[in-house]
Amino acid sequence: MTAVAPRTQTASLSPILKQATPVVVDHAQGSWIHGTDGRDYLDFTTGIGVTSTGHCHPRVVAAAQAQCAKVIHAQYTTVMHTPLLELTERLGGVLPPGLDSVFYANSGSEAVEASIRLARMATGRPNIIVFQGGFHGRTVAAASLTSAGTRFSAGFSPLMGGVHMAPFPYAYRYGWDVETTVDFALAELDYLLTSHVAPNDTAAFLIEPVLGDGGYLPTPPRFLHGLRERADAHGILLIVDEVQAGFGRTGRFWGHQHADGLIPDILITAKGLASGFPISAIAAPTEVMSKAWPGSQGGTYGGNAVAAAAAIATLDVIDDEGLVENARVRGQQLIDGIRSATAPFDTVGDVRGLGLMVGVEFVTRDGERTVPDPAAALAVQQATTEHGLLTLTCGPAGNVVRLIPALVVTEDEIATGVDRFTAALESALGARALGG
């Protein structure tokens, strides 16, 4: 008999899975992460805008724990479960008028893909127009729609066909005022529709209300209205990707609501929806949703019962604690604080945002021209960790530091965050300050 040798192999995480910080979380509460290194970190990353009600909000924890003891997984194309029915009813109260039909999945990317399938089936048209700098996910179709950096789509072509790109009104980058940039971007869209992508072949415009991974750039309301007009004129659907900007983060419940009166045809939501549990959804008018081909919507894990219970608790907390208004007020405090902290630094070109979605763009200057400075952004982002504040970078060049506090963030916590950000700026860039 030959003895079987004991296995000694261990596994490790993929070497290309890079972490923005060296922190290993032991536990987390509200706006704070407690590391296994014994340090407390103020979390202005919220898992990339996910833990909307803060880490482990007691009501979200209680709802998830109670649901775990009742049923964890009730596959929704086999049996239905009550948390999903209740969540759907509750979402009806916050969804834009007319968007009364909901399909659930697990991640933002999956929901984006569901919206594209639906738009193509509902219109019978092949093309999708996206906007430069947009981020819509990492699965192959979602990556095909993404232009927030070549790292998201390089090396595994061919990508999905039928995707066309128009300029995004990125006023700071063009060096123009917002109105001029919006006129330019709308004119270029019209040119695309005349020169290359026929309106009758176009199923949808897909846009984020605030570019997220593409640089924390609010989409000017007049641009969104311009898309709506063109969509109406040509029977094109307007899809808003609210995965990062939705669920109260911008100081309105949905990011597109900053464009007064605008109603999209399809809305995509995920991230903040369940305070950390994986669940995503698309919403559309029943008339549009029912044009999806039978069998084209489903999935093993979509609309999980524990995630749905956590989403209901998230809606309760947002409502009862006035978190949309808190995001607006604390967001103003944050952007004001960051603007004055960064004012002495010539390498900070722009500070912008909506609500609790604030971006700081780092540049070097070459006469009138500005050039992205990813090294400065990275140095500041890493210094914030040393000073006990967690932040992330974004933007195609990685030259934007983004601040994404939880919607429950307090006045004191914002003040602490601004102090720590100021200390990080000074330690990372002090010698580069104007006159420094």
Strand-strand pairing, 389-390 and 40-43: parallel
Strand-strand pairing, 127-131 and 163-166: parallel
| Binders in 262-321 for ligand PMP, by CB under 6 A | 270
The amino acid that residue 137 corresponds to is: G
Sign of CA dihedral 241, 244, 247, 253: negative
How far, in Å, CA of 261 to CA of 428, rounded?
A: 43
Least gap, CB of 181 to ligand PMP (angstroms): 21
With CA atoms as reference, report the closest residue to 130 among 144, 111, 118.
Answer: 144
* Burial (CB count <10 Å: 0-12, 13-18, 19+), residue 234: middle
Examine residue 43 and tell whether it contacts ligand PMP (CB under 6 A): no
Among residues 48, 74, 192, 433, the one that binds ligand PMP under rule CB under 6 A: 48
Examine residue 244 and tell whether it contacts ligand PMP (CB under 6 A): yes
Least gap, CB of 124 to ligand PMP (angstroms): 25
How far, in Å, CA of 209 to CA of 232, rounded?
A: 19
Examine residue 104 and tell whether it contacts ligand PMP (CB under 6 A): no
The contacts of residue 107 (CB under 8 Å, 6+ apart) are 137, 270, 278, 280
- Judged by beta carbon, residue 271 or residue 420, the one nearer ligand PMP is 271
Least gap, CB of 273 to ligand PMP (angstroms): 11
Show the site string, 202-221: x = touches ligand PMP by CB under 6 A, - = not: ------x---xx--------
Least gap, CB of 53 to ligand PMP (angstroms): 18
Examine residue 136 and tell whether it contacts ligand PMP (CB under 6 A): yes
Strand partners, 353: 358
* From 69-77, 129-137, 160-168, 353-361, span contacting ligand PMP (CB under 6 A): 129-137
- Judged by beta carbon, residue 256 or residue 420, the one nearer ligand PMP is 256
Examine residue 254 and tell whether it contacts ligand PMP (CB under 6 A): no
Q: How many residues bind ligand PMP (CB under 6 A)?
A: 15
Examine residue 107 and tell whether it contacts ligand PMP (CB under 6 A): yes
Among residues 46, 53, 109, 275, the one that binds ligand PMP under rule CB under 6 A: 109
Examine residue 181 and tell whether it contacts ligand PMP (CB under 6 A): no
Show the site string, 149-178: x = touches ligand PMP by CB under 6 A, - = not: ------------------------------
In this structure, the dihedral spanned by the alpha carbons of residues 23, 29, 31 and 36, taken in order and rounded to 10 degrees, is -20
223: Cα within 13 Å, side-chain hemisphere: 31
Examine residue 243 and tell whether it contacts ligand PMP (CB under 6 A): yes
Among residues 43, 241, 350, 413, the one that binds ligand PMP under rule CB under 6 A: 241
- Judged by beta carbon, residue 228 or residue 249, the one nearer ligand PMP is 249
Cα 137 to Cα 141, 151, 208, 287, distances in angstroms? 8, 12, 12, 27
Q: How many C-beta atoms lie closer than 10 Å to residue 141's C-beta?
A: 19
Backbone angles phi, psi at 105, to 5 degrees: -140, -155
- Judged by beta carbon, residue 297 or residue 422, the one nearer ligand PMP is 297
Assign 304 to helix, strand or coil.
Answer: coil
* From 166-174, 190-198, 236-244, 417-425, span contacting ligand PMP (CB under 6 A): 236-244
Among residues 135, 168, 362, 421, the one that binds ligand PMP under rule CB under 6 A: 135
Among residues 42, 99, 112, 383, the one that binds ligand PMP under rule CB under 6 A: 112
Cα 6 to Cα 1, 3, 9, 17, 110, distances in angstroms? 15, 9, 9, 30, 41
E strand or H helix that includes residue 216: none
Examine residue 349 and tell whether it contacts ligand PMP (CB under 6 A): no
- Site of interaction with ligand PMP (CB under 6 A): 48, 107-109, 112, 135-137, 208, 212-213, 241, 243-244, 270
